[in-house]
Amino acid sequence: MNLLQFCEKKKNNEKLTILTCYEFTTAKLLAKEELDALLVGDSLAMVYHGFESTLSATVDMMAQHTAAVKRGAPDSLIISDMPFLSYRKGLAPAMEAAGLLMQQGATAVKLEGSRGNLELIEHMVDSGIPVMGHLGLTPQSYNVLGGNRVQGRDPEVAKKIKDQASDLEKAGCFSLVLECVPQDLAKEITAELTIPVIGIGAGNSCDGQVLVLPDMLGMLPDFSPRFVRRFTQGAQWVSQAVKEYINQVKAGDFPNEKESFQ
């Protein structure tokens, strides 16, 4: 899968599927599936490192995880998040951060918001760095937004998101993530843009969907936002396997003869 094929899918009315991926073993597993891209999301700060928000992700963290995912999924389209503030301190540091992510194996980078980013996005694209936009709920701004809540219910905010989506397309973004916006707004934006719109908590009219892998695997039973569907009960199967391991070790059943060296 390359970016042209990714974008073609919108024209062909084929839904795009993306999942987050943060490390080698999972990347190897996901690479075998027909996903269109793997997102090394800055959500890794929360679900992988246990921080409270994505604000704790750093460029070094993103680079290390991108490299691990690339080693596990060398042929996949890998999109890496530019972490908090890494693209807001001026052109040179932003290009350095994006360049590092690309050198570690990203095919493209994703950054949040539009205002103040358009010139940078143009420069990145002109420099060979494909950029995915991210609007609606932008978790790096959750302090400004007053929490992780649906964006665009208010008509003024909805208009702003629509305008920003169009600005991002004009600046050269190859795709756009819309997070936690009303489905009608997502539908309008998806129809207006020629680039693929990927939804998370944005209804099913988008050109594709993205989910955070531990969420859709049911690994975090205490976290169940409305827009997440658990496609399996991961926490339960981990618990069952670990219980079984403990029981078998205690009963003297593991390791057996075949699992031991003579």
Q: What are the catalytic residues? A: 179
Three-point CA angle 43, 95, 210, nearest 5°: 30
Binding to ligand KIV (CB under 6 A) within 179-218 occurs at 179, 200, 210, 212
Check: CB of residue 38 under 8 Å from CB of residue 20.
yes
Q: Judging by DSSP bridges, how do beta strands 78-81 and 37-40 pair with one another?
A: parallel
By rule CB under 6 A, what string of x and - marks binding of each residue 63-92 to ligand KIV?
A: ------------------x-----------
Q: Which stretch binds ligand KIV (CB under 6 A): 3-11, 41-49, 86-94, 245-253?
A: 41-49
Cβ at position 204, least distance to ligand KIV in Å: 16
Taking the CB of residue 250, how many other CB atoms lie within 10 A of it?
Answer: 9
By beta-carbon proximity to ligand KIV, the closer residue of 169 and 179 is: 179
Three-point CA angle 150, 155, 158, nearest 5°: 55
Q: How many residues sit in the footprint of ligand KIV (CB under 6 A)?
A: 11
Q: Which stretch binds ligand KIV (CB under 6 A): 36-44, 59-67, 71-79, 156-164?
A: 36-44
Cβ at position 42, least distance to ligand KIV in Å: 5
- Tokens at 253, concatenated: 């059943």
Q: Does 43 bind ligand KIV (CB under 6 A)?
A: yes
Cβ at position 81, least distance to ligand KIV in Å: 5
Check: CB of residue 234 under 8 Å from CB of residue 218.
yes
- Exposure string of 35-69, with b = 16+ CB inside 10 Å and e = fewer, is bbbbbbbbbbbbbbeeeebbbbbebebbbbbbbbb
By beta-carbon proximity to ligand KIV, the closer residue of 40 and 67 is: 40
Q: Which of 19, 132, 165, 177 binds ligand KIV (CB under 6 A)?
A: 177
Q: Which stretch binds ligand KIV (CB under 6 A): 34-42, 71-79, 140-148, 244-252?
A: 34-42
- Exposure string of 152-164, with b = 16+ CB inside 10 Å and e = fewer, is beeeeebebbbeb
Q: Which of 6, 21, 42, 180 binds ligand KIV (CB under 6 A)?
A: 42
Q: Give long-range contacts, CB 8 A cutoff, 24+ apart: 223-231.
A: 225/201, 226/201, 227/180, 227/200, 227/201, 227/202
Cβ at position 107, least distance to ligand KIV in Å: 16
By beta-carbon proximity to ligand KIV, the closer residue of 24 and 48 is: 48
Check: CB of residue 182 under 8 Å from CB of residue 157.
no
- Which positions touch ligand KIV (CB under 6 A)? 20, 39, 41-43, 81, 177, 179, 200, 210, 212
